[in-house]
Each structure stands twice: as structure tokens, then as C-alpha cells.
Amino acid sequence: MPAAKQLRRLFNDTTYTMETVLSGIRSTGHLHLGNYFGALKNFVKIQDKYNCYFFIADLHSLTTHPHPDDFHASVKTILAEYLAAGLDPEKATLYIQSDVPEVSELYVLLNMIAYVGELERTVTFKEKVRQNPDNVNAGLLTYPVLMASDILIHRANWVPVGKDQEQHLEMARVYARRFNSMYGVEVFPEAHNLVFTGEAIKVPGLDGTGKMGKSNGNGIYLYDDEKTITKKVMKAVTDSGPTEPNSPMPQVIENLFTLLRLVSDQSTVDYFTEKWNDCSIRYGDLKKQLAQDICKITLPIKEKIDAIYNDDAYLSKVVASGRDRARASASATLTEVRKAIGFRAF
């Protein structure tokens, strides 16, 4: 039976095997509201319904050569923020990519079936070349191969990714298929994008330029304090206000309402929608309310981040147990991979 089928969840069977969900995040900077509403909040919801692997992609972050003093702190930051937001190390396997050397071994092996031509055509690679022509390293070129290794090492079925990572996920499927057909064994299932329904996933930035992003400088972070959040929200780009009743909203105002829908209750959203429609809206009031409601969600998380970040004993326990579980799963896959390729013991 192919792995994917074997893993498919049988809803009426109490002995079902859960499907595997996997997601990685590079260890750069803090998590923002986009990460929280677009991904993290949903991870928390599904962590006991799937066999989940959530890891910190510290190897991937090396493409930009972080200073050794910052490298560890960045990993620790994301880990503390993941835990504070509600990921439960008892339910999901939380680990650090570089703690699982099997990933790097699979990366070497997959590099043999990844063609330079297809890597050079990757959109993210071409973008990086344009942005940083002085740092076109081989790790950047083979970034999708490392990401495929992350996914295939646990034979994941579902990988929740945003638009910008869809091509990488497609490449992981290409390598899975290529490997299976080259060696004539169904070692890898094909991983698909897990798209969460329900709440709006695209979280806008506050500068009207589109998506909230780490590198866009337009983010509100889970780690921001009340003063910072209020300042950022009050500075959000607006316009001179509606001049006719019921007029369509320009993008920058729509963005504020999108955020409001994510963090505020329905009556608040209705109240300001009405104010917009009858042209009596005061952006200052809207922003004040928005800042308050953001804080209601993020400040308790921030408090937990601080506590967890300073609890080294707890963190090292979480990391060790995640590593052990991840390595067990990874080495089982690698054994199959090595067998398929033709490694034999002497």
C-alpha cells in the first residue's frame, strides 16, 4: 500500500493512523500577527488531530550568514513564541532542524536528483539573485532541496504554506515522484498544501503595501508591548475619509477593517462599518479600538513569551524530546531511502 494511502485517516476506525502535517519557519526575527492568524492559530487547533511536526529551520536561515551571537537567540525566540502561542510539545513534535542530521543526509541524496536548471528557474531564487547579487551562494540555489528534505524526511502528507512557498512545495512533489520512479519504490508520498478555511488568512500590513511580512517592516509582533502596538496602529496609513454614503473602501481602510475582523467582536466591526457607511467615521477612534483589541490577544502571549524564554530548563527539555521524536521518524525514512538507493552493509 502506498504510504499516503496507508496514512490516510479512516474516520470511523478508532485505530486509524493519523496523517502527517509538517511546517517549518526560518529563525529570523519575531513572529507577527500574520504568522499568528495565518498559521500558528491553526496549528494550535490541529495539533491533536494530526501527527504534527513543527520545526525551526535554522539551517535555512544560514543563507544570509547571521552573526554567531544572534544565531542561537533567534532560534530560542521563535521556539519561545511558538510555545507561548499554544503549541503543545506533548501533542506536536517541536524541533530544531539542525538537531536532526538525517535531514542533511537526505538533502545530499536529493541533490543528486535535483537539476540545476530547475533550481535556477525557481522564482524565489531569481528574486534573491536580484536583491543580493553579492551573495548568490549554493545554499540559496538548493534551498528548495533542503525544504523538500524537511518535508520528505517525515513523509508528510500536508504542508500548510503561503503563496510564496507553493513553488517549493511543488518541487518537493517533483523530487518525491522522481525518487520513487527512479528507484521503483513508493518511499515518499506527495505532500499537498493544507489550506485553512474560516478566518481570513491574508493579514495586511499597516502601511498599505499589502501583506504583513517580516522583511516588509510593516508588522505588529506578538512580542510588541502595548505602547509599541498603539503607536504602530495609530500611524497606520489612512485617507481623508469617505465623502459619499456607502462608498467602496480604499485598500488602506479595507486593511484596517480586515484586522478589526480578526481581533474584535462582531458588534465592534458592525459599529465602525455603519460609521463608514454614513460618513461619520473617525479613524482615530477606529485605530484606538483596533489597538486595544490587538493588545487583548497579544499581551497575554507576550507575557508567556517572556516567562518561557527565561526558562532554560523547560526549553531544553522541549528541544530534547522533540529532537528524539523527530530523529526516530527521520531515521526510519532514511533507512528506506538508503535501501532503495542501494547502500548495503559490509
Residue 235 a catalytic site member: no
**Under rule CB under 6 A, residue 319 binds ligand TRP:** no
**Under rule CB under 6 A, residue 150 binds ligand TRP:** yes
Of the candidate residues 104, 111, 165, 209, the single one contacting ligand TRP (CB under 6 A): 165
3-state secondary structure of 121: coil
* Helix (H), strand (E) at residue 6: helix 3-7
Identified catalytic residue from 202, 211, 275, 304: 211
Of the candidate residues 84, 109, 110, 161, the single one contacting ligand TRP (CB under 6 A): 161
**Which residues inside 196-235 make contact with ligand TRP, applying CB under 6 A?**
none
Distance CA 205, CA 42 (A): 20
Identified catalytic residue from 76, 128, 287, 302: 128
**Under rule CB under 6 A, residue 147 binds ligand TRP:** yes
Residue 211 a catalytic site member: yes
CB of 164 closer than 8 Å to CB of 313:
no
**Under rule CB under 6 A, residue 80 binds ligand TRP:** no
Question: Of the two residues 159 and 318, which places its CB atom closer to ligand TRP in the complex?
Answer: 159
Stretch of 13-21, 22-30, 262-270, 271-279 lying at the interface with ligand TRP (CB under 6 A): 22-30
**Under rule CB under 6 A, residue 57 binds ligand TRP:** yes
**Under rule CB under 6 A, residue 99 binds ligand TRP:** no
Going by the DSSP 8-state scheme, the letter that residue 40 receives in this structure is I
Q: Tell me how crowded residue 326 is: count the other CB atoms within 10 A of its CB.
A: 23
Of the candidate residues 79, 159, 262, 334, the single one contacting ligand TRP (CB under 6 A): 159
Residue 227 a catalytic site member: no
**Under rule CB under 6 A, residue 60 binds ligand TRP:** yes
Stretch of 134-142, 145-153, 219-227, 232-240 lying at the interface with ligand TRP (CB under 6 A): 145-153
DSSP 171-226: HHHHHHHHHHHHHTS---PPPB-----SS---PBPTTSSSB--GGGT---BTT--H
Nearest Cα neighbor of 27 from 87, 83, 73, 68 is: 73
Question: Of the two residues 125 and 283, which places its CB atom closer to ligand TRP in the complex?
Answer: 125
Q: How far is the CB of 191 from ligand TRP (least distance, A)?
A: 8
Stretch of 43-51, 75-83, 160-168, 224-232 lying at the interface with ligand TRP (CB under 6 A): 160-168
| Strand order, beta sheet including 51-57 | 20-26, 51-57, 93-96
Of the candidate residues 4, 24, 291, 308, the single one contacting ligand TRP (CB under 6 A): 24
Residue nearest to ligand TRP (CB): 24
Of the candidate residues 3, 26, 31, 318, the single one contacting ligand TRP (CB under 6 A): 26
279 φ/ψ sector (left φ>0, alpha ψ -120 to 50, else beta):
left
Question: Crossing angle for the helix pair 283-309 and 251-263, nearest 10 degrees?
Answer: 50
**Under rule CB under 6 A, residue 23 binds ligand TRP:** yes
Which residues, in sequence order, are bridge partners of residue 52?
21
Tally: H helices and E strands in the chain:
16, 3
Cβ within 8 Å of residue 135, ≥6 positions away:
63, 64, 65
Nearest Cα neighbor of 307 from 96, 90, 81, 88 is: 81
CB of 61 closer than 8 Å to CB of 147:
no
**Which residues inside 259-298 make contact with ligand TRP, applying CB under 6 A?**
none
Q: How far is the CB of 165 from ligand TRP (least distance, A)?
A: 5
Q: Which residues are catalytic?
A: 128, 211, 214
- Name the site residues for ligand TRP (rule: CB under 6 A): 22-26, 57, 60, 147, 150-151, 159, 161, 165, 168
